[in-house]
Structure 1
Amino acid sequence: MHRVNIRSSNGFAFLDSLLELLALSVMLPLAAMFYLFSTQFLVELDSSATEFRLFTLELQPYLEGSDRVYLTLKGKGVRIVKGKTVYDIELNGTVIRKRKAGLGHEIMLTDVKGGHFEVEGDRLKIQLEFQSGAKEEADYALSLPD
């Protein structure tokens, strides 16, 4: 008759390795999913898209009720005439800035790599590229007097 010693540690390393392998096979896919989620989250944290949306919202009241809109600086800026007030919005270096009646500049948008403005009939199109590589576009319908 063969005696079984329950307190023996024979085979323990094999079972321990199997359990560790099982735990690892469960954790690795979760780690990969966390990594993919975090990279998407970091992309969404890019402030250039949010800043561009705020810029487009800030620009809209200047265009509403404007008398004339035309390009300046070979498409790097736009001049908006609204009553007796003239607004110049232009790309200068890495910022888009606004100037009212030829006076000081107010920064509207930062970290701009390049871009241009287009006026086609009754539409204003803005295409910008940011330092992060993101590209944004805005299209406005102008209601200019005839």
Structure 2
Amino acid sequence: MRNCFKLRFANEKGYTLLDGIIQLSVLMLFSQVFAVTIGWSNRIEEMITNPTDTEWALFVQNVETYLNDIDSLVIQKEQPGIRFRKNEEEYDIELYANLIRKQKNRLGHEQMLLHVKTMSVKVDGQSLHFFVTFLNGIEKEHTFYVTYHSE
């Protein structure tokens, strides 16, 4: 009767060093995959939630519509920006406080790009180079091709 209450195990060797190394290797592999996945998802989230690229693309598209068939173009000296004449109207695109604005005949102002720290403009023939630094440190630049009105 005593023998029927004893439990018998088929493998009584216990936990080996090889078992521990294998389990540690699997744990390290999954932890690296987890860390890479978290880092990748953070970068994707930052790209999606950062509106700077979208705002810059809209700004570039908006400015391009104005720089076709203009009469004259000058770089402003008082404030960073440009002044151009088109269809008997005078337009200013300039840095004002922390934004780039557009004025028509020096009246009112329309916000074109927000959260801007610095802006510089350079004209080279028919090319107009815009360099912008945002408050978050991102720098953007674009070269516009300017067409002049031919009489």
TM-score above 0.5: yes
**C-alpha distance in 1 between matches for 2:37 and 2:53:** 24
Match of 1:34 among 33, 37, 51: 37
Deviation readout 1:16-58 (Å, 9 max, x if unpaired): 8667535422321111211331243144232112211110001
% same residue: 28
Secondary structure of the residue that 2:84 maps to in structure 1? Answer: strand
Residues 117 and 124 in structure 1, CA contact (< 8 A), matched pair in contact too: yes
Q: Which has the larger radius of gyration?
A: 2
Could you tell me which runs of 5 or more consecutive residues in structure 1 were left unpaired when the two chains were aligned: none
Q: Does 1:21 align with 2:29?
A: no
Displacement of 1:103 in angstroms is 1.7
Number of aligned residue pairs: give it: 144
Using the size of structure 1 for normalisation, the TM-score is 0.82
**C-alpha distance in 2 between matches for 1:70 and 1:29:** 56
Using the size of structure 2 for normalisation, the TM-score is 0.79
Could you tell me which runs of 5 or more consecutive residues in structure 2 were left unpaired when the two chains were aligned: 1-5
CA RMSD, 1 decimal: 2.8
Match of 1:100 among 76, 101, 104: 104
**C-alpha distance in 2 between matches for 1:140 and 1:15:** 66
**C-alpha distance in 2 between matches for 1:76 and 1:94:** 12
